[in-house]
């Protein structure tokens, strides 16, 4: 076939675009038909058009900005496009539906077209407009002939050409629909992948249902938690996973949400793969379409068992705090009151927590204790992490002082950061009253014992007056009574006010004072020697009780019960330990250890262990009892 455009022909410049042309071209490009491969369906339509119209050339033509492109062609030798300047279809798309030019040489629009004047010398053209569903002209389905046709097309041919053009439009719309469907399916597939990745990464159990509540999806967390086979809880199988006591309640709430569209939220016990039931928070929201209809339900299950246990423990702790008889309080780092329990409010005479929150920690104390609190207590709490000691609160309502055993310690959050200070403080008023009553009773008993010593001494003195020969014995007896009285003062319990001064403030000094009661004929029957060490008031009382009990037993059964019997009491320092050894000689032979311990011995052992944190050992040697008392030196100074 000869070329459509002779090489010698010069094309006229393109005319400027008509109004709305850019929108038309944009719609054509959006149809995604340009530059696609040939398709049989379009070729068949061109073939039918050529046959019906008895034309040698038929084209499915689309008019672009600078070219005319053919989706299908019959009779052009495989040509797929030509410049817009040669396009006759560019005129056809200006018509409503059909353009028929019986003689192209006679029409001023086409008379100078190279397709007409050149060697192809087309003389006849008929084209039906191809339009989109919105009415935008894409191009035309046209036929051409090389001889004029004064009669144009028959009505049947024209109708067929228009029908075939409509069919091209239908094919394009169908192609667009398929493209959109494929894109939507791809997006749905991508969305499904994103959904599964997202739900797979979530720590919660995730599930979805159809609008009627049929469960059709669970993420891996669900199966990891429950341990059930995949798919086994689809549909209504999920309810069997709940604790029997929670199933009906869960069903009722779920049916209500399905019926009303209200969000679903409930706490229930879900069976764990271990077989135990764990508290779980179930939630679901409806996903609606543009018209408000529910398309799906999207739900989650969150394991809250640890949280529930923590809440239960917190409630129990709060109940303990609120029912405690002690003053329990919490303050922030600046000392502002955060919380104070009911016992604390009552102790300081506050009506409610709001009144307590208006106070800082120093304001709870009397002026004297406030000074101690600010200068000693808080520095120690910050430095050492705690402080405990006796202070005094003052009642806000009456101003009365309240003695308390106060302690304070830092409170930290879950990260270890300090958030304030806590205190568990005990009211000492009752203890003080009991201590005063006990001390009064002890003083009364001590006074009566002293009176007994005095009466016995007086009786002895009266005896000596009437019997001068007995005076040496009476004097020795009264000296021993005096020593026993002084020892009694150390043995009996004391308050800080009634504690006697220590003689020399050492262990051996205390021993000499106590053992003076066991002198005989001006000679010490208890020889005291060795290393010495300082002693405190509390340790002195305990040690005096132990050694007085030991001397009493020696007088009854041991080395001091026989004429000429003696005791050696030796002190020895060994590092941070102090050993006191009691060794008896000259008494009755020891055959065996006693079958049972007397009350005094048990009391002495308890004093050693409980008050001195020491060890008391007895060696029942035939020559006489040897007792060893080992005590930390630091404890002796208390």
pLDDT in tens, 389-436: 999 999 999 989 999 999 999 999 888 898 899 999 998 888 888 777
Q: Is the pLDDT of residue 498 over 70?
A: no
Task: Give the mean model confidence (pLDDT) for residues 45-55.
Answer: 95
Residue 489's pLDDT is what?
60
Most confident of 330-344, 443-457, 474-488, 546-560: 330-344
Residues of the chain with CATH 3.30.450.40: 21-178
Q: Delimit the CATH 3.30.565.10 region(s) of the chain.
A: 504-637
Chain position carrying tokens 């009264």: 478
pLDDT at 193 over 80: no
d(CA 22, CA 150): 35
Cα 430 to the chain's mean position, in Å? 43
Check residue 4 and give its pLDDT: 39
CATH class of 202-309: alpha beta
Range 504-525 average pLDDT = 78
Write out the two tokens for 162.
């228009």
Average pLDDT over residues 555-574: 87
Q: Which fold has domain 504-637?
A: Heat Shock Protein 90 (3.30.565)
| pLDDT at residue 75 is higher than 60 | yes
Q: Where in the chain is the domain with CATH 3.30.450.20?
A: 202-309
- Averaged pLDDT, 223-228: 91
As a whole number of angstroms, the distance between CA 529 and CA 519 comes to: 16
Element counts in the chain: helices (H) and strands (E): 18, 23
Query: Which of 103-117, 306-320, 336-350, 591-605 is the least confident region?
Result: 591-605
Residue 502: pLDDT above 70? no
Decide the pairing of beta strands 327-332 and 137-145.
unpaired
**Percentage of residues in the chain with pLDDT exceeding 90?**
46
List, in order, residues 6 or more apart from 623 with CB less than 8 Å away.
585, 589, 590
- Kindly give the residue spans of alpha helices, DSSP state H, lying in 232-331: 244-260, 305-323
Report the phi/psi class of residue 20: left, alpha or beta, with left for phi > 0 and alpha for psi in -120 to 50.
left
pLDDT at 450 (0 to 100): 67
Query: Do residues 143 and 57 lie in contact, with contact meaning Cβ atoms separated by under 8 Å?
Result: yes
Q: Which CATH superfamily is domain 21-178 in?
A: GAF domain (3.30.450.40)
Q: What is the pLDDT of residue 94?
A: 92
* Residue 1: per-residue pLDDT: 36
In this model, does residue 569 exceed pLDDT 70? yes
User: pLDDT, tens digit, for every residue of 261-311?
Assistant: 999 999 999 999 999 999 999 999 999 998 999 999 999 999 999 888 888
More confident residue, 396 or 454: 396
Rounded Cα distance between 485 and 401, Å, is 38
pLDDT value at 462 more than 70: no
Q: What percent of the chain has pLDDT over 70?
A: 86
When pLDDT is averaged across residues 540-565 and rounded to a whole number, the result is 81
Q: Tell me the two tokens of residue 54.
A: 């008895």
Beta strands at 137-145 and 205-209: parallel, antiparallel or unpaired: unpaired
* Token pair listed for 221: 């967390």
How do residues 138-175 score in pLDDT, each as one tens digit? 999 999 999 999 999 999 999 999 999 999 999 999 98
Distance between CA 306 and CA 300 in Å, rounded? Answer: 17
Q: Which alpha helices (DSSP H) does 217-279 contain, by range? A: 220-226, 244-260
Average pLDDT of the chain? 84
């Amino acid at each position: 076939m000869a070329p459509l455009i002779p090489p010698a022909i010069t094309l006229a410049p393109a005319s400027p675009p008509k109004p709305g042309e850019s929108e038309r071209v944009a719609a054509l490009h959006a149809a995604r038909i340009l530059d696609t491969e040939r398709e049989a369906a379009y070729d068949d339509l061109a073939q039918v058009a050529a046959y019906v119209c008895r034309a040698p050339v038929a084209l499915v033509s689309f008019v672009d900005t600078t070219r005319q492109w053919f989706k299908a062609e019959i009779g052009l030798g495989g040509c797929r496009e030509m410049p817009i300047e040669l396009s006759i279809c560019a005129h056809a798309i200006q018509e409503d539906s059909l353009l028929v030019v019986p003689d192209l040489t006679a029409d001023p629009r086409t008379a100078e077209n190279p397709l007409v004047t050149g060697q192809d010398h087309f003389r006849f053209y008929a084209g039906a407009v191809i339009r989109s569903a919105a009415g935008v002209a894409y191009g035309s389905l046209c036929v051409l002939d090389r001889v004029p046709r004064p009669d144009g097309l028959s009505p049947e041919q024209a109708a067929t050409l228009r029908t075939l053009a409509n069919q091209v439009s239908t094919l394009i719309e169908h192609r667009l629909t398929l493209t959109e469907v494929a894109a939507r399916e791809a997006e749905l597939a991508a969305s499904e992948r994103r959904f599964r990745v997202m739900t797979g990464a979530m720590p919660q159990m995730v599930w979805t249902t159809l609008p009627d509540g049929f469960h059709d999806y669970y993420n891996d967390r669900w199966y990891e938690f429950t341990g059930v086979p995949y798919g086994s809880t689809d549909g209504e199988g999920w309810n069997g996973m709940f604790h029997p006591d929670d199933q009906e309640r869960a069903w009722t709430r779920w049916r209500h949400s399905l019926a009303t569209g209200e969000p679903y939220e409930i706490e229930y016990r879900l069976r764990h793969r271990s077989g135990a039931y764990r508290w779980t928070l179930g939630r679901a929201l409806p996903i609606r379409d543009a018209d408000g209809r529910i398309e799906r339900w999207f739900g989650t299950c969150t394991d809250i068992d640890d949280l529930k246990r923590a809440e239960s423990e917190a409630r129990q702790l709060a109940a303990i705090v609120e029912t405690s008889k002690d003053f329990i309080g919490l303050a922030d780092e600046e000392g502002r009151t955060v919380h104070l329990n009911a016992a604390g409010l009552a102790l300081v005479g506050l009506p409610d927590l709001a009144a307590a929150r208006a106070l800082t920690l120093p304001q709870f104390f009397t002026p004297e204790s406030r000074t101690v609190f600010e200068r000693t207590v808080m520095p120690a709490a910050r430095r050492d992490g705690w402080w405990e000691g006796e202070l005094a609160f003052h009642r806000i309502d009456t101003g009365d002082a309240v003695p308390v055993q106060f302690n304070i310690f830092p409170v930290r959050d879950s990260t270890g950061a300090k958030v304030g200070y806590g205190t568990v403080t005990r009211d000492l008023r009752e203890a003080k009253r009991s201590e005063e009553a006990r001390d009064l009773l002890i003083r009364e008993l001590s006074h009566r014992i002293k009176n007994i010593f005095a009466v016995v001494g007086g009786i002895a003195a009266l005896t000596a007056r009437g019997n001068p020969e007995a005076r040496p014995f009476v004097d020795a007896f009264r000296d021993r009574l005096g020593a026993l009285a002084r020892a009694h003062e150390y043995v009996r319990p004391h308050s800080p006010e009634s504690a006697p001064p220590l003689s020399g403030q050492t262990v051996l000094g205390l021993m000499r004072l106590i053992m003076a009661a066991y002198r005989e004929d001006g000679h010490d029957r208890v020889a005291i020697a060795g290393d010495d060490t300082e002693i405190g008031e509390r340790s002195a009382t305990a040690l005096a009780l132990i050694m007085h009990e030991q001397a009493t037993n020696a007088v009854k059964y041991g080395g001091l019960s026989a004429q000429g019997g003696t005791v050696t009491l030796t002190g020895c320092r060994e590092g941070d330990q102090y050993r006191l050894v009691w060794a008896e000689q000259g008494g009755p032979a020891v055959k065996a250890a006693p079958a049972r311990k007397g009350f005094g011995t048990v009391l002495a052992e308890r004093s050693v262990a409980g008050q001195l944190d020491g060890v008391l050992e007895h060696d029942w040697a035939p020559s006489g009892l040897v007792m060893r008392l080992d005590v930390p030196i630091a404890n002796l100074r208390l």
